[in-house]
A and B are shown apart, each in its own frame.
Chain A
Amino acid sequence: MRVLVAFLTGSIFGLGLMLSGMTDTGRVQGFLDVAGAWDPTLIFVLGGAVLPMALTWRIAAARSGALLGGPIPKQVEARVDRDLIVGSALFGAGWALVGLCPGPAMASLFYGGTGGLVFLIAMAAGMIGYRRVTVGVPA
């Protein structure tokens, strides 16, 4: 059942990304291009996603656990460290370069052509490589 819900959730997420314009690298780069022809669409995407989710967190707070069992993830202590800042900066630079973040890179695989496939492979390689390099290193 958890696997089925994960499949359905991934499907809904993918359709949302496709509809929103997040898989259009020109639109994403347009949002980041504040010195050029700025495109504010991503603000509507983020607002549309954050508002219902804020309500969901309130519902979740009143529940003892998830519907299929297990806890609702607790808020981790607000630990802002170097990895959070450096990692987000590297991600931002890569996001600007190509205009894809991890969700849309997967959602657009079918219609993203060779470039999209190469991006997804490079992104997965970066994820695996980071794990290989840092494994065993205390956080």
Chain B
Amino acid sequence: MAWAWGLLGGLVIGLAASIYLLVNGRIMGASGILGGLVDGAGDAARERLAFVVGLIGAPAVAAYFWWMPKTNITGDFAVIVIGGLLVGIGTRMANGCTSGHGVCGMSRFSLRGIIASAVYVGFGMAAMTVLRHGLGWI
């Protein structure tokens, strides 16, 4: 049933992106919203902060009262720090991540969104193959 939850969750994500675009006139990209908030260079800081508070807060409330999902994150903190730095630097350099380039970009047939998504999925698959099956790190 994982696929059905995936599809349902995906539709909810698409609903959120649709509201943000039609009502506020903004692209719902997680790395751009957070990045522009923490580096101090983004406009509309209150709007960004409110988005982040909801993004962290709503799953927290749902997890507390309803269902506590498992993240199954690795216990290797060196891997976590390196991974976090790569995701932070990479998404800012590429100006988008899975939500901005993937959901909002590909759905409007943006060449940048499609190329970025092909590269991060392709490179992620290559990295996974090398790191897990070649080097045995993860």
Residues of A within 8 A of B (CB): 2-27, 29, 32-36, 39-57, 59-60, 63, 65-73, 75-76, 78-80, 83-103, 105-113, 115-116, 118-132, 135
Q: Give which listed residue, A19, A113, A128, contacts B71 with CB less than 8 A.
A: A113
> What residue in chain B is nearest A3 (Cβ atoms)?
B50
Query: Which one, A10, A20, A52, contacts B52 given CB within 8 A?
Result: A10
- Nearest CB in chain A to that of B94: its residue: A87
A29 surroundings in chain B (CB, below 8 A): 128, 132, 138
Q: A7-B53, A32-B124, A93-B123 are in contact. Are A122 and B85 (CB under 8 A)?
A: yes
Chain A residues, CB < 8 A from B125 = 32-34, 92, 96
Are A90's CB and B99's CB within 8 A?
Answer: no
Per the bound structure, the CA–CA distance linking A63 and B2 in Å amounts to 37
A126 smallest CB distance to B (angstroms)? 2
Of the candidates A10, A19, A48, A101, which one forms a contact with B14 in the assembled complex, judged by CB atoms under 8 Å apart? A48
Question: Which residues in B have some Cβ–Cβ distance to A below 8 Å?
Answer: 2-28, 30-31, 34-35, 38-39, 41, 44, 46-48, 50-60, 62-64, 68-75, 77, 79-95, 97-99, 101-104, 106-108, 110-112, 115-117, 119-129, 131-133, 138
Residues of B within 8 A of A112 (CB): 71, 73
Given contacts A2-B24, A11-B57, A91-B94, contact A122 B71 (CB under 8 A): no
Q: Does the CB pair A101–B30 fall under 8 Å?
A: yes
